[in-house]
Amino acid sequence: MPHDILNSMRALREELAQRLSLVPEYRALVALDRSIEEICVILQDSDAAMDAQAAFAQQPSSPPQAVAQAQPQARKSAVATAFAETLAAKIDQRVAARAAAFPQAHRA
């Protein structure tokens, strides 16, 4: 009996997912969720790299290999920051465009 319920729920979920995939706003939401998740992973990696760099800086000498490993993490952080800023700017532009499309009388 529980397996039948789970199978029914999975089928309902799949049907709903297919219907929602036709809605552009939902697809945008899914894309944003994925991007947020990826940026969080990159930033977590970046935070770990920064912690490692701080610990490394306290050591008397620094081997070239550790410095070389820290540099890609810094680049990932810069890429994530640039991506987030670009995404925020695009969203701001769309919000402003939609706000401009509606006359002031219709706003609450």
Q: pLDDT per residue over 60-99, tens digit each?
A: 554 455 445 556 666 666 777 777 777 777 887 887 888 7
Q: What's the burial of 55, exposed, middle or buried (CB within 10 Å: 0-12/13-18/19+)? A: exposed
Residue 87 C-alpha from the chain's centroid: 10
Range in 8-12, 49-53, 66-70, 88-92 with the lowest mean pLDDT: 66-70
What is the pTM (predicted TM-score) of this model?
Answer: 0.40
> Does residue 15 have a pLDDT over 90?
yes
- Residues 40-64: what's their mean pLDDT? 66
Predicted local distance difference test score (pLDDT) of residue 62: 46
11-29 average pLDDT score: 90
